[in-house]
Amino acid sequence: MIKKVHLGFENDCVTIPVADILPVRVLSKSIKSSRKYTQITASIREIGLVEPPVVARNGDASGGWLLLDGHVRIEVLKDLGQEQVECLVSTDDEAFTYNKRISRIAPIQEHRMILKAIERGVSEEKIAAALDLNPRSIQRKVKLLDGICPEAIAILKDKACTAAVFTHLRKMIALRQIEAAELMVNANNYSVAYISAILAGTPQAQLVDANKPKRIKGVTPQAVARMEKELARLQEGITQIQDTYGQDHLQLTVLRGYVAK
């Protein structure tokens, strides 16, 4: 028997008066002075609304709409004097349920979107204006993956890594980049501090410039050597766990079924 699939959104977008949309949370008083607000305003002014707000039908007699996602965008539209907006209509009116399923754009995805825009003839200056960024920032985003091996890119494609993470990865050879990416994923840690520790623990032979001694501020050569050994043991332990994970999971599943009987 085929199960009926529940759609998360109605099939068609709807155009709604901005005044009929009821926010489900209050924005902070400082939001309009934030960089995020300035960027969204510049983007809408330059190229229009890219990502439509998400609303749900209000069940009461007012017949209005509940705003689930896009509070800042709606506030910007009000400031710009726009009276109507095209929205996605969610079939679930719980803002928490909706927001927890959202996957925000990762730096690698942003990099690819910018490249596609450039391929279509959009200038770096126009992209910078739309995102309210310095043109040099766009150039850095374009070159984000220079020197990064395809395997490491695939591992981190949807991860929230900062540009500094790729700067550190670029100092490692391809094999080490893959190991470093796996370490970050396994630890669910994509901070600059963590990738800096991985770089500090990387053997000299696994650096792109193997002849240049590592110099890490505040860390002695002896401490670096210890970090290399500890990181190697950690990587070995992770590999062993990965090798036995499938078998362990199968055994636990069988045991769970036996106990349930």
Averaged pLDDT, 101-126: 78
pLDDT value at 146 more than 90: yes
pLDDT value at 168 more than 90: yes
pLDDT value at 116 more than 70: yes
Averaged pLDDT, 10-17: 85
pTM: 0.54
Q: Give residue 101's pLDDT.
A: 46
pLDDT value at 163 more than 80: yes
Residues 216, 224: contact at Cβ < 8 Å?
A: yes
pLDDT value at 97 more than 90: no
Flag the least confident range among 77-81, 115-119, 164-168, 176-180: 115-119
**Residue 152: band (very low, low, confident or very high) from pLDDT cuts 50, 70, 90:** very high
**Residue 96: band (very low, low, confident or very high) from pLDDT cuts 50, 70, 90:** very low
Label residue 113 left, alpha or beta by phi (over 0 means left) and psi (-120 to 50 means alpha).
Answer: alpha
Flag the least confident range among 24-38, 122-136, 183-197: 122-136
Task: Work out the percent of the chain whose per-residue pLDDT is above 90.
Answer: 21
String of DSSP letters for the chain: -PPPPPPSB-SS-EEEEGGGEEESSPPPTTGGGSHHHHHHHHHHHHH--SS--EEEE--STT--EEEEE-HHHHHHHHHTT--EEEEEEES---HHHHHTT--PPPHHHHHHHHHHHHHTT--HHHHHHHHT--HHHHHHHHTTTTT--HHHHHHHTTS---HHHHHHHTTB-HHHHHHHHHHHHHHT---HHHHHHHHHTS-GGGBSSTTSPP--TT--HHHHHHHHHHHHHHHHHHHHHHHHHHHHHHHHHHHHHHHH-
In 10 A of CB 219, how many CB atoms?
A: 15
Residues 84, 18: contact at Cβ < 8 Å?
A: yes
Q: Give residue 93's pLDDT.
A: 56
pLDDT value at 32 more than 80: yes
Question: Measured between alpha carbons, how far is 249 from 5 in angstroms, rounded to an integer?
Answer: 29
Structure confidence by residue, pLDDT tens digits, 44-89: 887 777 788 889 887 665 668 888 888 999 999 999 999 999 998 8
* CATH architecture type of domain 9-90: Alpha-Beta Complex (3.90)
pLDDT value at 161 more than 80: yes
Flag the least confident range among 16-25, 38-47, 183-192: 38-47
Closest to 15 measured CA to CA, from 83, 99, 77, 72: 83
Averaged pLDDT, 210-229: 67
Q: Give residue 18's pLDDT.
A: 92
pLDDT value at 105 more than 80: no
Mean pLDDT of the chain: 80
